[in-house]
Amino acid sequence: MDIEELYQRYCVRLKHWLLITLLLIIAFFGASLIVYQFVSKDKMQTSEDIGHLVTSFIGMTSSLIILGIVCIEFVFRKFSTLITAIIWLLLLLCIYSYIGFNEVRTATEEVPIIFIVIFVTHTMLPLSKKWAVLLGSLVAILQIGLAAIFVEANTNYIAQELVTNCIVFTCANLVGFYHKYLTDIARRRTFLDTRNCIESRIKLEHEREQQEKLLFSILPVHIAVEMKNEKLRNLSRNSLSRLRKSKTTISTTRFHELHVKRHEFVSILFSDIVNFTPLASECTAPQLVKMLNELFGRFDKLAQENDCLRIKILGDCYYCVSGLPVSRPNHAINCVKMGLKMIDAVREVREATRVNVDMRIGIHTGNVLCGVLGLRKWQYDVWSDDVTLANHMEQGGLPGRVHVSKETLLHLNDEFNHEPGNGSLRDGYISEKKVETFLILPLKQTVHKTNSGSNRFLGELLTADHSLPEINMRASLRMSKFLDTWGADTPFANLKDKSMAKNIGETSLAMMESNLQSLPCSNDTSFSSLRSLAPASLTSEVNKKFTDDLYSKYQKWFKPEDINKVLLTFKDTQMEKDYSKQPDSTFKYSIACSGMIFICIGIVQVIMLPRSSTLFIAFGIGVTLFLFLLFVCIIDYLVNHKVMGKKVPSVVVRLTSILTYNTWCRIILSVITMATVLTTAVITVGDCNKNMNQTLNQTLGEPGTKDCFYASYYVVCCLMAMSSCTVFLQINFHAKFLVMVMAVLAYNVILHLVANDIFDRMDAITHHEARTEIFETRIKGSIYLAVHLITLHILDRQIEHTSRLDFLWKTKFKVEHEEVETMGSLTKVLLENILPAHVAAHFLQSGQHEGLYHESYDSISVMFASIPNFKEFYDQNVFNKQGLECLRLLNEIIADFDVLLSKPKFSNVEKIKTIGSTYMAAAGLQPGTKDMCTCCYIHNHNDNESMSHPIVSRTYSGQSNVSKLSACDLHVQFLAERRGLQGIPVRNNYHIIILVEFALSMMNALEGINRDSFNTFQLRIGINHGPVIAGVIGAQKPQYDIWGDTVNIASRLDSSGLTGKIQVPESTKDILQNAGYKCDLRGDVQIKGKDKPIRTYLITPHLKEADTEISK
């Protein structure tokens, strides 16, 4: 269903009430004629009188029958076109049947009722604009044609009468079309705004739930809720705009909030995949990410089965804890079972694929501090001496064995067989701590099970592809094929439910229909239609729950006490003020339409009514008033579209603004305009000659004289003037109704008291040969005025009611929208503090989380920065709350490093993770731009000196042929010139310089912390660049990470580096030296995992120079 069809359904629902009201008006009109005929004397003497009575009765009963059918809402919806056509034909048949029974027919016969029929055709029948214009014009043409053919009396001036009728009917069509057109625009705008608001509300709710799922997939629920509540508390002190801009919340306390808790009696498991590094070097990006996801996905399932909580994945290292956040007495047994099953899983891979991989497991039992540190890229972690020991238990273990400490063994309750582990012989830390270790003996029954599975896979592999025996396949390919059989879930698999966002159009339409009043005579209410629509539209359990929530909001929102049923005012005073302060952009069109009606009335009076000086004076004053008001209203449009120069008096511009935004000013001017038109309609009545004996003839005289032979046109002018009141769509309907009631009263006084002789004389001359007493023009005029007053008031009231309900709907939805948007923004901030923004967006977008996320980059800079002497600082005792206060200081250090990331010049730097006191970051991780330079630094860096450089300034002023894409190179050249060197590095290596600058800023930040805390911490940094694979792995707790030889070397450059220095390999040194950095040769350093030593260089920071140069 497209948007236009939705809108047409919405309009049909709106017009339903108007159609019911129209049928009631028709019945009222017919009943009035019947009552008048029965009350009046001598009205039932001829067949013509009986014909009038029968016609009125048929019209009244037919309208009531149709009314009963229309009240059955589903019948009306199904047959609305047919019912509309029947009503239109009923109007015409009744009118022309009634005219047909008149003894004397004139050209002016029933012009007022035809004017009303044309008007209601546009405004009250559920027709499109095209059909309304067509049927309205058809009524006008039909009336003029019949008048020209069948007129029997007063044919001397038939041409003037027909021309006047043309003007009257044209005015009726124009006013009706204007009303329909402006109402349609307002309804379309309201429809789209309301629908967009509803859709936005539904989408935001959906996104918020998705973001929460994503958040809870990464962090334990208790930590995520705690951090979200802390953000909410900060949000109450800081504006949402500041939260969006900074993505970090500035704490009002001296220290940042620390989300760390102590847990006792837990078991920590560390595991490492032996020989995985050379295997990973053979893999492509998709293969590596898929392989890791399958392996760690299997481990996550094992952790869930054994009541373990995975903490983190570090490359091919996997560690988890049992006993938190819920304490478990069998935590050690859980970890040993978990370790044995992990070994079995890897053994299954080894035996099935003949790839030499194995698992090394280390377990220790003790106490931990768990939580998150820093302000960005939160990852749940554990710290304590016991965690350090558990890590060394893995490093000092043996492949294929579970290595446990004596503390863990004491908690196993002799459930597993064991043997001495001799871990002190393989690891210095274990030896230093004098920890006795043991090896758990494997369970024999699991070996046979894995062997059978392995042999089955080998058989299937050989059978599937005889041309490529498995022994000749690459190890990575064999392993990848085998792991495919495990079928691990993809990360964020719980986000795949996209049904909530489906059928939003039908849901929003049903909710908008529920905005309208339900019919008292109909059993089919809007709310029940919404309820019936929902199950077909929203089928999932989550969506059903959300729809029920919308139902409850509907019942809560649209209560009778919101709006006064009689006055249609909001009972909430502030809401009433807000509604009345809405600007009226259509006021100029209302003035123009009212002016058009005024001109039509003037032309009618000039042709058919007395052409006195009073008319011309009033007409001149009115035209001047309308021209002035129209000019003032459109002055803004003329200036903005350069139709006029900008030298417009400020008084006129201010007056335009007042007319647009000041409600009371618009009301006053509207009333003045209405009064002008209403007065002009009868301004010449006083000029009519009231001496009946002097002018009594058998035929009417010339039109335009003071004899007022065509006084019936005063009634027509009154109807036209009353129509000018309803064109002010945004003016309060109370004011319009008051003006129209006063006008109708005044007109009736004129008809029956002031100028009754004029109308009686016209009736006497026109119908002097009639056999029966005529139906006086004065009486019919009063009925026409009453019917038109009711019609206009119903229209005004319906517009007011719909407008107020829409305003109420949007206001309350806006509040809900802001609440959901606030929560959504908050959750988004939390997510972007956990995942890179582009990764979070990838998984939140519908249809983007079907497969594994991975990116391959040709050149990425990777940094590991550690604080070696923090291990000496860390201590667990009663005075520092068992190490908690030490972590508080580490949290401050990491938070200060994170604050640097919020600077625009470091927008290209991405924090990957923290490992204890080691900070890992990378630069250049921009998806889809692996060979492009990221110029965020040069675009956002407010360095006046660099921008004043001749090369850079020419680039930005457009005076150079150098493209903006080379601005990064120009800035690097400028930095090199400042350092006294020449040369521009390759464009796609610019991220190396940014990462070095970030490392220097980290050193400066740490110096500041040292001064404040009286410590002597120093950073030891290793930086490398090269190809990297990035991706997200893990189904239970997805984690973003990067892999590759580049990452491994960067880590080893840190661990083998010197404190206070940045160690880089020779390839990175060449680029940095080109950019003006001084690199001192250290020599050949043996790196773990490399057969040959690599030549490294050291960058010694000059902190004061770096501080002044970088901190801008």
| Positions marked catalytic | 1052, 1088
Q: Are 74 and 817 in contact (CB under 8 A)?
A: no
Q: Are 203 and 833 in contact (CB under 8 A)?
A: no
Contacts of 28 (CB under 8 A, 6+ apart): 787, 790
How remote is the C-alpha of 455 from its chain's centroid? 54
Would you tell me how many other CB atoms lie within 10 Å of the CB of residue 968?
27
Which of 562, 565, 564, 542 is closest to 554 using CA atoms? 562
Percent helix, strand, coil in the chain, to 5, is 60, 10, 30
Token pair listed for 153: 């009396």
Residue 325: cis peptide before it, omega within 30 degrees of 0: yes
Q: Are 390 and 321 in contact (CB under 8 A)?
A: no
How remote is the C-alpha of 212 from its chain's centroid? 17
Radius of gyration (Cα) for the chain, nearest Å?
A: 43
66-92 burial by CB neighbour count: b if 16+ within 10 A, else e?
bbeebbbbeebeeebeebbeebbebbb
Bridge partners of 1026? 860
Cα gap 353→821, rounded to integer Å: 51
Q: Are 1003 and 271 in contact (CB under 8 A)?
A: no
Q: Are 224 and 1037 in contact (CB under 8 A)?
A: no
Bridge partners of 918? 866, 915
Phi, psi of 253 (to 5 degrees): -95, 175
Cα gap 748→682, rounded to integer Å: 11
Token pair listed for 848: 């983007």
For 41, how many CA atoms within 13 A lie in the half-sphere containing its CB? 0
Lookup result for tokens 């580490």: 890
Q: Are 1084 and 1051 in contact (CB under 8 A)?
A: no
Which of 625, 743, 875, 1091 is closest to 751 using CA atoms? 743
The SS3 call for residue 397 is: coil
Residue 272's alpha-carbon distances to 314, 406, 970, in angstroms, are: 9, 21, 45
Cα gap 236→499, rounded to integer Å: 34
Sign of the alpha-carbon dihedral angle for 501, 504, 507, 511: positive
313-324 burial by CB neighbour count: b if 16+ within 10 A, else e?
bbbbbbbbbbbb
Q: Are 538 and 503 in contact (CB under 8 A)?
A: yes
Cα distance between the two ends of the chain: 55
The number of helices, as runs of H, and strands, as runs of E, in the chain is: 41, 16
Q: What is the pairing mode between strands 418-420 and 381-383?
A: unpaired
Token pair listed for 1: 């269903």
Lookup result for tokens 């057109």: 181
Cα gap 736→251, rounded to integer Å: 57
How remote is the C-alpha of 252 from its chain's centroid? 32
Q: Are 852 and 267 in contact (CB under 8 A)?
A: no
Which of 208, 189, 201, 209 is closest to 813 using CA atoms? 201
Token pair listed for 75: 């019948």
